[in-house]
Amino acid sequence: MRCAVLGRPVAHSLSPVMHRAAYLELGVDWDYEAIDLGEDGLGTFLDGLDETWRGLSVTAPLKRPLVALLDDVSEDVELLGVANTVILGEERIGHNTDVSGGLNALREAGIDDVVSARILGGGATAASMTLTLSRLGVRRLEVAVRDPARAGEVVEVARRCGMAVEVTSLTDHDHGVVDVLVSTVPAAVVDPFRAHQAEAVFDVVYDPWPTALAAEGEARGIPVVNGLDLLAHQAALQVHLMTGGTVRPSLLRGAAALELAAR
């Protein structure tokens, strides 16, 4: 069987090394590759897949345009309009493993049953993390963005989840302490002082690591979760959806860490 990760750019993706490590652990003779693909070629690519294809991981910029090309989607994809996984068979079924992957990564770090949160950024990852936070119990959410006009999708997800939501500027730091801070923006635009305004930090960046924000959080002794944790947990869920097998996220995280160290 064949699987792949699609996106542009995609050469940097750690998905191949994680999925191949999973196949080795499960003892299945499957193939997983990285395919550079833009939005304009996505439909043609999907239409050309044969019965040897079982699953696809999908990254930027394809997570939103993919949804319109699927036959059915999970509840999370229906709510978010964002899919990062496709299971192939008689139909194309879309899933979003970022939501549950983020939830599992946070819980692994002991972050659970929280009430307030702050998200930096307003893109597709921020929308997925908003749904994740709602499942941790968050009811008050602040969305900090460079352009408030671009926060609409995240705000809509938050409201659908029953959250009280406030939009602020990414450069405005005069706000109180929250239970968890989630950064979905490039490390260079984040003031590390924000780690002093949270009881836990989740920075979706994984390379280079630690970011200034994460380092500040670690210096304070608060829980810190990184993008590699998210990648490993969501990839473990993808492997299960695609193969039916179960692998430990720690195995995938280790494989990804070794790949990063070798680059």
pLDDT of residue 244: 97
Query: Bridge-partner residues for 91, per DSSP?
Result: none
pLDDT of residue 1: 96
pLDDT of residue 5: 98
pLDDT of residue 163: 97
**What is the sign of the dihedral through the CA atoms of 97, 100, 102 and 105?**
negative
What Cα–Cα distance (Å) separates residue 131 from each residue in 154, 245, 256?
9, 26, 26
pLDDT of residue 49: 97
Catalytic residues: 63
What Cα–Cα distance (Å) separates residue 66 from each residue in 27, 57, 72, 150?
31, 11, 11, 20
pLDDT of residue 139: 97
pLDDT of residue 100: 97
Complete domains list, the chain, with CATH: 2-96+228-262 (3.40.50.10860), 111-222 (3.40.50.720)
pLDDT of residue 188: 93
Joined together, the tokens standing for residue 69 give 């090309």
pLDDT of residue 148: 87
pLDDT of residue 255: 98
Segments of the chain scoring below 70 in pLDDT: none
pLDDT of residue 143: 97
Determine the Cα–Cα distance for residues 95 and 220; give it in Å rounded to an integer.
36
**What is the sign of the dihedral through the CA atoms of 167, 182, 191 and 121?**
negative
pLDDT of residue 262: 93
Determine the Cα–Cα distance for residues 214 and 205; give it in Å rounded to an integer.
10
